[in-house]
């Protein structure tokens, strides 16, 4: 009885060993049949050529208008930064829900903090000198229409797969679907501009314009806004840590 059991166990082990060997040989054979990875093309020559073309266009534009040349250089530089940094406002709002990452969200918050400090310094400088504060035309009334418009625009950005800057950047990368997004983005903008007068008179103007320095003072407005940005930054960081652990 025990001899039979021993022989059965031995045959089972031999069968398992042979099965494992056949699997390993099969996997090795399939691995050997895999196509070798294509060698990546050296893009340095193409980058040098593009850089020279950009410089040449900038020089040609400078002969016509120094401002146009400056705009060209800034536009190309801004596009390169967007492309290499994968910076997108849509992704900063979308990634926390899809992937749990808040890296872009925190990058946008840092940008908000820096612009808050910079624009506050500029506006306060004009205010101290008794000059008209620049940018006051952008202090517009806020109401429920602001929230509704932001919500609808956010849905559009997620469906389109990018904001305006992200769409332009992806078109430069060759994404054909973004051309459709840009087309309807332009159509919607023209339609909105056509009807903006009606919306401004009947809806937007019904709200109240709020300039934080008028309410809290310059120092108070700066502290409150930076404090709010820091609170959101801290929450975003904790959220990512919770999602990834």
Q: What is the DSSP string of 171-235?
A: HHHT-SHHHHHHHHHHHHHHHHHHHHHHHHHHTGGGSEE--HHHHHHHHHHHHHHHHHHHHHHHH
- pTM surpassing 0.75? no
pLDDT at 13: 45
pLDDT at 55: 92
C-alpha 237/C-alpha 132 separation (Å) is 39
CA distances from 149 to 162, 186, 190 (A): 17, 17, 16
Query: Residue-wise pLDDT tens for the chain (245 aa)?
Result: 444 444 444 444 444 455 545 545 454 444 445 666 777 777 788 888 988 999 999 999 998 888 999 999 998 888 888 777 777 777 788 888 888 888 889 989 999 999 999 999 999 999 999 899 998 888 888 888 888 888 888 888 878 777 777 788 888 878 888 888 889 888 988 998 999 888 888 888 888 888 999 999 999 999 999 999 999 999 999 999 888 77
Nearest to 166 by CA among 5, 216, 177: 177
């Amino acid at each position: 009885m025990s001899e039979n059991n021993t022989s059965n166990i031995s045959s089972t082990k031999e069968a398992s060993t042979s099965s494992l060997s056949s699997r390993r040989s099969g996997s090795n054979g399939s691995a050997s049949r895999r196509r070798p990875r294509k060698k990546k093309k050296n893009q340095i020559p193409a980058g040098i050529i593009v850089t020279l073309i950009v410089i040449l266009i900038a020089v040609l534009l400078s002969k016509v208008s120094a401002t146009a040349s400056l705009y060209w250089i800034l536009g190309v530089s801004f596009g390169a930064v967007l492309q290499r940094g994968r910076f997108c406002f849509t992704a900063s709002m979308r990634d926390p829900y899809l992937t749990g990452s808040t890296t872009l969200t925190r990058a946008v918050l840092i940008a908000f903090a820096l612009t808050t400090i910079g624009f506050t310094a500029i506006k306060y400088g004009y205010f101290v000198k008794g000059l008209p504060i620049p940018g006051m035309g952008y202090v517009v009334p806020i109401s429920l229409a602001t929230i509704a418009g932001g919500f609808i625009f956010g849905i559009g950005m997620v469906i389109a797969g990018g904001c305006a800057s992200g769409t332009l950047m992806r078109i430069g990368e060759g994404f054909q679907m973004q051309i459709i997004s840009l087309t309807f983005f332009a159509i919607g903008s023209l339609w909105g501009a056509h009807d903006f007068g009606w919306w401004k008179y009947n809806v937007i103007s019904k709200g109240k314009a709020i300039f934080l320095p008028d309410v809290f003072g310059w120092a108070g407005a700066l502290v409150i806004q930076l404090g709010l940005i820091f609170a959101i930054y801290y929450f975003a960081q904790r959220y990512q840590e919770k999602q990834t652990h």
